[in-house]
């Protein structure tokens, strides 16, 4: 079972109900963090007093305020809801198509973030498959793990898919080094864009918490050992990583990002 080492304090909104206060105390105990009564203190004051991340637990969500940041990070499905309904209706999703995901596959999302892509992958692999999400930021991993287990989208297929995702707080290269050869089907990377593109507020709030290290050639070599079928990279259409790391690009006209694929020969014997 994964243990996340996060630092911070847990508190409530300014005027919490007894239910919200009880929820905040449960979260604090679950995460092994101190609970602090709000006592009309502002978030900047709490950040200054405790010199750490402030987690604000409300009835709807948990927000993380990093020290010196006014904009919180919190889990939400981002664009996954629209994509999930479209895929459920007609099987159409760019990620599922690029990765050629099949029922029962084991898919690793090596750059989890808000888990929007992992949610679609989980729907596509079904109950007999597995999706593992790797996230190097402890704060992001903790909030996304909690959100995937508790968020109610009111679309049952998506909620069930969220519950099945396994979140691992780790650097993807370190994780890949420890995995057996040919132990998963597909490994997917979506590094934060190195070119500026217009993104939703949710992704902007994620950006400062993310590990922006560029993918390394060693990462690809390890991924080739661990994956059975293919490795897929999603990046800005101007990205140098496609050519540098040997991906075959699937051009998406008028889209700000493309998919690159490395097909592995061993996938032929796996079918």
Domain count for the chain: 2
Same domain, 37 and 109: no
Asked if residue 84 is part of any domain, the answer here is yes
Asked if residue 74 is part of any domain, the answer here is no
Asked if residue 145 is part of any domain, the answer here is yes
CATH number at residue 101: 3.40.50.150
Asked if residue 70 is part of any domain, the answer here is no
CA 235, 238, 244, 247 dihedral sign is positive
Same domain, 175 and 258: yes
Same domain, 115 and 166: yes
- Among 42, 65, 88, where does a domain finish? 65
User: Average pLDDT of 100-119?
Assistant: 96
Same domain, 130 and 56: no
Looking at the chain, the whole-number percentage of residues with pLDDT higher than 90 is 76
* Tens-place pLDDT, residues 198-232: 344 444 555 444 454 557 889 999 999 999 999 99
Q: For the chain, give the mean pLDDT.
A: 89
- CA nearest 142: which of 55, 70, 68? 55
Same domain, 194 and 96: yes
Three-state SS at 216: coil
| Containing structural domain, residue 211 | 80-270
- CA nearest 186: which of 81, 104, 113? 104
Strands in the chain per DSSP E: 9-11, 54-57, 62-65, 106-109, 130-135, 166-169, 184-189, 227-236, 248-250, 257-263
CA 238, 239, 240, 243 dihedral sign is negative
Q: What angle do CA 219, 223, 229 make, to 5 degrees?
A: 155
Model pLDDT, residue 256:
86
- Here the tokens at position 127 are 């109950």
Query: Torsion angle, CA of 15/19/20/25, rounded to 10 degrees?
Result: 120
User: Average pLDDT of 118-143?
Assistant: 96
Asked if residue 75 is part of any domain, the answer here is no
* Tens-place pLDDT, residues 4-26: 678 999 999 999 999 999 999 99
- CA nearest 223: which of 191, 181, 171, 193? 181
Same domain, 26 and 85: no
Same domain, 113 and 158: yes
Q: Using the predicted structure, report yes or no on whether residue 182 has a pLDDT greater than 60.
A: yes
Same domain, 53 and 111: no
Q: How far apart (Å, rounded) are the C-alpha atoms in residues 122 and 138? A: 22
Asked if residue 257 is part of any domain, the answer here is yes
Read off the pTM. Answer: 0.87
Same domain, 188 and 56: no
Same domain, 258 and 169: yes
User: Average pLDDT of 121-128?
Assistant: 98
Same domain, 203 and 110: yes
Q: Taking a C-beta distance cutoff of 8 angstroms, is the pair 38, 94 a contact?
A: no
Q: Using the predicted structure, report yes or no on whether residue 174 has a pLDDT greater than 90.
A: yes
Same domain, 93 and 225: yes
Asked if residue 2 is part of any domain, the answer here is no
The phi and psi torsions of 84 (rounded to 5 degrees) equal -65, -45
The phi and psi torsions of 76 (rounded to 5 degrees) equal -160, 160
Q: In angstroms, what CA-CA distances link 44 with 70, 71, 220?
A: 8, 11, 42
Asked if residue 71 is part of any domain, the answer here is no
Model pLDDT, residue 103:
97
* Tens-place pLDDT, residues 27-48: 999 999 999 999 999 999 999 9
């Amino acid at each position: 079972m994964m243990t996340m080492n996060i630092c911070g304090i847990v508190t409530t909104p300014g005027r919490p109900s007894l239910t919200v206060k009880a929820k905040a105390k449960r979260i604090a105990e679950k995460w092994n963090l101190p609970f602090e009564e709000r006592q009309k203190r502002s978030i900047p004051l709490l950040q200054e007093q405790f010199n750490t991340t402030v987690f604000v637990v409300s009835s709807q969500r948990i927000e993380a305020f990093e020290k010196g940041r006014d904009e919180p990070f919190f889990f939400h499905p981002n664009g996954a809801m629209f994509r999930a309904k479209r895929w459920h209706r007609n099987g159409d999703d760019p990620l599922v198509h690029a990765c050629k995901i099949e029922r029962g596959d084991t898919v690793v999302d090596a750059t989890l973030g808000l888990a929007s892509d992992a949610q679609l992958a989980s729907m596509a692999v079904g109950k007999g498959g597995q999706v593992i999400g790797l996230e190097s930021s402890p704060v992001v991993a903790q909030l996304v793990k909690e959100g995937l287990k508790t968020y109610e989208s009111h679309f049952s297929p998506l909620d069930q898919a969220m519950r099945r995702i396994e979140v691992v707080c780790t650097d993807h290269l370190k994780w890949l080094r420890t995995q057996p050869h040919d132990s998963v089907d597909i490994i997917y990377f979506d590094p934060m864009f190195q070119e500026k593109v217009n993104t939703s507020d949710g992704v902007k709030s994620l950006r400062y918490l993310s590990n922006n290290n560029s993918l390394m050639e060693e990462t690809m070599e390890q991924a080739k050992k661990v994956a059975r079928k293919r490795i897929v990279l999603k990046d800005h259409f101007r990205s140098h990583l496609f050519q540098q790391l040997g991906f075959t690009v699937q051009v998406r006209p008028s889209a700000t990002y493309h998919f690159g694929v490395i097909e592995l020969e061993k996938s032929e014997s796996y079918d």
